[in-house]
Structures are given as structure tokens and as C-alpha cells.
Structure 1
Amino acid sequence: MAVNDKCKLKFLKLKAKKRYRFIVFKIEEKIQQVMVDKVGEPGKSYRDFRACLPANECRYAVFDFDFTTEENCQKSKIFFIAWSPDTSKVRSKMLYASSKDRFKRELDGISSGVAGHRCQ
């Protein structure tokens, strides 16, 4: 599975420049390539992110999560999310599952997370 250069470029902008809160990626099966599907501007919330995930289709995503530690330090962590709702097609689930590790290797500096349709 090829990864479109725009995926890496957008991810670098999220990681280094904080230009995005999240990026949703989609596999274009006809060309066998991972593409950018949607981006969320820095002011967007986790709720906005969830609204971008289709109810019946798989996606990959990265989300830049800001938090405060017990020591009152502001931090952020970038999470990788494999979105695979129960209602998506079996073929799609298999395609996303089999190409996930390769795609994650293309994005340096992420933490792993898995979300399903129960993602809140």
C-alpha cells in the first residue's frame, strides 16, 4: 500500500507546527494508496474529530491531544487511531488491518491507540 506524500507533509505540519488538531486518512482502493481525507484546524475538539469519522467505513487518523500533568505542565501527545466500526465491510476491515503497521511506520512520533464505534 503506497502512502501519498501529502499524508506525510500534513502529519509533519501537525507534529512540528501544530497546524492541525487531527488528520483523517482514507485508503483509496482503486489506486492502492493512503490519502488525506479530512483535517481539523487547531481549535477543533475531540468531538469535532469524532464527527469526521464515518459510521460505516474504516479510516486511520492522528489526533494531537493536549493535557496538563499533575505537576501542572502543559503537554501534548499524538495518537494514531485505527477506526474500524462493526458496520464496515469485511474487505475494508481486512485492508485497513493489513496495511496499518506499514502506514504507522511512515508517521514518526505517534502513540498507538485503537478506536472502534464505541469511541467517546
Structure 2
Amino acid sequence: MANSASGMAVHDECKLKFLELKAKRNYRFIVFKIQDQQVVVDKVGSPQETYDDFQASLPADECRYAVFDFDFITSENCQKSKIFFIAWSPDTSKVRSKMVYASSKDRFKRELDGIQVELQATDPSEMSFDIIKGRAL
């Protein structure tokens, strides 16, 4: 289960919650953190929560991984949804933390089957609603 490059394991709850987001749409977003050499669920957002709620759930000075289920209407007036994977690595976080999250990201992302768009952000402006919307269309 552990990745030899990063030594990071992924807690089963991460995959379970992601499947619930993808298949049942039980959550708007899931925030993950690395704790005790494994990726664990940090927070989940209910389907009623907004993108602003999601952004507010990310710590200002600590790295996180997150998935966000983005609903939108296409120019053809079709309701669509895309699942974003966001690697949140604020400039103010510790260098060691940034390195651990960077080295574990690809391995963790592979565990979540169904990611459609990946985004990396070091400050909130890099993951603004307009950027998310632009990447979804």
C-alpha cells in the first residue's frame, strides 16, 4: 500500500468518500491531508456547499489535496459536472510539507479513479472560481 518513493499510504476512507462523491454525489468536496505517513480525509462538504465554502475549508498555511465536484451549464444549455483534483500548496506552508505533498501527489491521484481536471495552486487566486469554470468548459 505504501509508495516506495514517498512512503505514503492512502487510508481506505479516502477512496470510499471519493467513490461516494463520484457515484452518489453525497459531497460537494473532500479535503485530504497527510498525517502519520498516510493520506486521510480532513473535511467533507455537503452537496449544498458552494465553491466559496470549499475555498474557506483550505488552511491558509498548510498543504492539502482536495477534490471538488463542479456543476456547470454548457453553452448548449446542458447540465454537466467535472471532478477537479486540487493540489493546494500555499507559499506560506513549510518547505518539508510542500516536498512531501509534491512527492506523494501522483500516487494519491492514481487512487482516485475519475478525476477529470487537475489544478495546482499556491494562493487562492490560482484557483479562483473563474479559473475553475474556465478549465471545466
Which of the five TM-score ranges fits, normalised by the shorter chain?
Answer: over 0.9
Q: Which residue of 2 aligns with 1:3?
A: 10
Q: Deviations over 1:17-71 (max 9, x none)?
A: 000000000000xx20000000000000000000000000000000000000111
User: Given the alignment of the two structures, is residue 26 of structure 1 paired with residue 33 of structure 2, yes or no?
Assistant: yes
Q: Which residue of 1 aligns with 2:132?
A: none
Instruction: Report which structure shows greater RCO (CA 8 Å, sep ≥6).
Output: 1
Q: What is the root-mean-square deviation of aligned Cα atoms in Å?
A: 0.7
Q: Which residue of 1 aligns with 2:66?
A: 61
Structure with greater helix percent: 2
How many pairs were matched up? 118
Identity of aligned residues (%): 76
The offset of 1:116, in angstroms, is 2.1
TM-score (structure 1 length as normaliser): 0.96
In structure 2, stretches of 5+ residues that fail to align are 1-7, 129-137
CA distance, structure 1, for counterparts of residue 122 and residue 50 of structure 2: 18
Structure with greater strand percent: 1
TM-score (structure 2 length as normaliser): 0.84
In structure 1, stretches of 5+ residues that fail to align are none
* 1:67-86 map, 5 Å: 67-86=72-91
Counterpart pick for 1:97 among 97, 102, 108: 102
Question: Which runs of structure 1 show a deviation greater than 4 angstroms over 4 or more consecutive aligned residues?
Answer: none
**SS at structure 2 position matched to 1:43:** coil
